[in-house]
Amino acid sequence: MIYAVKWSVKGREDVRRLYAYLLDRDEDTAVHAYEAIAEAVTFLERFPFSCRKARGGDPFLRELVVPFGSSGYVVLFRVDDGGTVTIAAVRHQREDDYH
């Protein structure tokens, strides 16, 4: 089964914020980080249930770890009915939690 990946408003805002933060420091790094997140998200089209479960006990709320440099990013998403995955939030691994 192929899942459609949708972005919530918050998820899009998170990516913009992370990109802007890096863009102020290093344009090439900002572009590479954006590409790493975008490429990792394509994994969710086929294998969303292979990602780790998020805290809280909801089996449909999951996290995708995106390695980048010495740390990386975490994408919080929900597997919805009807073959859709909705990205709820994106955080750098060194940021406060999004729960």
For the chain, the structural domain boundaries read 4-92
Coil/strand/helix, residue 53? strand
Going by their DSSP bridges, the two strands 4-7 and 52-53 should be labelled as: unpaired
Question: What letter represents residue 2's amino acid?
Answer: I
pTM of the model: 0.92
pLDDT of residue 97: 66
Query: Does domain 4-92 sit in CATH 3.40.50.1820?
Result: no
Please determine, for residue 99, whether its predicted confidence score (pLDDT) is greater than 60: no
Q: For residue range 8-66, what is the model confidence (pLDDT) as tens digits?
A: 999 999 999 999 999 999 999 999 999 999 999 999 999 999 999 998 888 999 999 99
Q: For residue range 50-85, what is the model confidence (pLDDT) as tens digits?
A: 999 998 888 999 999 999 988 999 999 999 988 999
Gap between the Cα atoms of 53 and 86, Å rounded: 15
